[in-house]
Amino acid sequence: MLSNQISQLITEAIKKAQKKGDLPKFDIPEVLIERPKDSSHGDYATPVALGLARYARMAPVQIAEKIVARAAAVDFVGELTVAHPGFINIRLATDWLVQQVDTVLAEGDQYGQLKLSDKKVQVEYISANPTGPLTVGSGRNAVLGDTLANVLAAAGYTVQREFYVNDVGTQVDNMGKALYVRYQQALGLEVAEPDEYQGQYLRDMGQRLAQAEGEKYLHTNQNEALAFMRQHALENIVAGIKEDAALIGIHFDQWFSEQSLYDKGIYGQVFNKLSSQGLTIERDGAIWLKSDDDNDKDNVIVRSDGRPTYFASDIAYAWNKLAMRKFDWAIYVWGADHHGHIKRVKKVVDMLGLDSNRVTMLLYQLVTITREGVPVRQSKRTGEFITTREVVEEIGADAFRFMLLTRSADSQMELDLTLATKQSNENPVYYVQYGHARIASIFRKAEEEGASMAGGEVTLLTHPSELELIRQMLRLREVIADIVETLGSHQLTYYAQELASAFHAFYRDCKVVMPEEPALTAARLKLVKAAQITLANTLRLMGMSAPDRM
């Protein structure tokens, strides 16, 4: 990666300056490479000389000058300059820069991919309680998790995508009871409304069940009837979530059942491990995990009635991920309301003899839906909560994914339905995808004119807008690497807009298909093709399509 190469270049220059006596001996820190806000100063910059002043006992500008004087000549650097109070600015060599067009063309769909790690990582996301359709809030979870999984795969990780199905506990039991009520009502019985899950989706499910089964479950033992209702509701809801996920291009490698932790003895194994090491205590008839705050009821593993808690499942699930399936890194995508669970889960991972650094929880904030600036609080169709499916049907899967990715996970966000459907540059989704469609139209025109990029010589690319477009294309790997480090998938939306902006500026400033100048036409067609590849690869990382027409 280019920034790493520049960092190594500066490090070696410091070592040489020390060896020649220009600088005293000291341990060389990591050389941070930044992109200056004002590109007129250069493509990259480093403040390393500012931090070395106390070791070298000289002014940062002097240190920077000595580093620059000892820097080796390399093909990708055109100029190193010093700026007050001691920054070193790096400008890429133009000859090298334009040659990168051929590199992008050669790598094609693989352009932007890295080999940062070959570790085995699991990203577990959505994992919404299977008691109803996928809400927009869970849709944000889906987009964050899926995009992060895409980026990690592009960075070289072996990635598994997983949905954790919470098919144990009171919530699923109550859903089964509610469905039984709807089934009875569909058959004409007058029964009390359910305490929970009063949504239309269960009414519809009850109607379908009554049509399919008739009065069969009115004459069945009630416990058996409720067990059937519970399982029937669970299977139908999970099937619906799978359809909703597929609607936004998400397909999981594994749908992991919480119940399997108990059926396969995983929970028992982990519980015995904790108990045998004296890490549990019994109080008030319940079993608690030993902790700094033994009065924290969230540390209860087994209730006084013998039922394991949700925390018990969390413990067994973490053990299954790290110890049994041996993921090097387990990433959970959780709503911000789960913040209090992070410390608890990490602590028990350490108590189990595993490394809690192998566990990361990515928290995300809520989504507000608006239309023309006015909050939309309920579904137009049902008068209830707004589902992912309903929003996707209105604005499309691409707009849904892009818009829900435009803010960092820890920021609350607004999804403006009106903006998301605008066919104008004001809509960032349209602006980015139109860049790809515009490129496709250029190639259609080139074909009509009999022009091609064959034999194009990239050294002819000298216009500032051409060079700026190439610079933006070269940022893709850095964006991917930064997302891996920060888990900030939202950076892709900013990069996509900046790349599209550079292309649109190039299109404005540089005519591409010029029959009177076939050599320059071929060179520019090469550049346009490289831009198309980069833009398509960026859209693919976000789980979006790259349209040829709009």
Predicted pLDDT of residue 293: 67
Predicted pLDDT of residue 372: 84
Question: Angle between the 518-541 and 491-509 helix axes, to the nearest 10 degrees?
Answer: 160
- Name the strand (E) or helix (H) holding 544: none
Closest CA to 87 of 128, 135, 38, 123: 38
d(CA 52, CA 498): 34
Give the DSSP letter string of 66-119.
HHHHHPPP-TTEEEEEEETTTEEEEEE-HHHHHHHHHHHHHHGGGTT---S---
Tokens 């004409």 -> residue: 188
What sign does the dihedral 442-446-448-454 (CA atoms) show? negative
Query: In what side-by-side order are the strands of the sheet with 44-46?
Result: 44-46, 87-92, 77-83
Predicted pLDDT of residue 378: 64
Helix (H, G, I), strand (E, B) or coil at 505: helix
Instruction: With beta carbons less than 8 A apart as the criterion, state whether 397 and 248 touch.
Output: yes
Give the DSSP letter string of 185-234.
HHTT---PPPSS---HHHHHHHHHHHHHHTTGGGSS-HHHHHHHHHHHHH
Predicted pLDDT of residue 550: 86
Q: What does the pLDDT profile of the chain (550 residues) look like in tens digits?
A: 899 999 999 999 999 999 999 999 999 999 999 988 777 789 999 999 999 988 889 999 999 999 999 999 999 999 999 999 999 999 999 999 999 999 999 999 999 999 999 999 999 999 988 988 999 999 999 999 999 999 999 999 999 999 999 999 889 999 999 999 999 999 999 998 988 887 889 999 999 999 999 999 999 999 999 999 999 999 999 999 999 999 999 999 999 999 999 999 999 999 999 999 999 999 889 999 988 765 676 789 999 999 999 999 999 999 999 999 999 999 999 999 989 899 999 999 999 999 999 999 999 998 999 988 888 876 555 556 789 999 999 999 999 999 999 999 999 999 999 999 998 889 999 999 999 999 999 999 999 999 999 999 999 999 999 999 999 999 999 999 999 999 999 999 999 999 999 999 999 999 999 999 999 999 999 999 999 999 999 999 999 999 999 8
Predicted pLDDT of residue 380: 56
Closest CA to 33 of 73, 89, 77: 89
Instruction: With beta carbons less than 8 A apart as the criterion, state whether 130 and 256 touch.
Output: no
Side-chain-facing half-sphere of 443: CA atoms under 13 Å = 17
Predicted pLDDT of residue 381: 56
Closest CA to 125 of 87, 152, 92, 96: 152
Residues pairing with 361 in the sheet:
332
Predicted pLDDT of residue 399: 96
Q: What are phi and psi of 387, to 5 degrees?
A: -95, 160
Closest CA to 511 of 463, 457, 455: 463
Structure tokens at 203: 């009414």
Predicted pLDDT of residue 383: 53
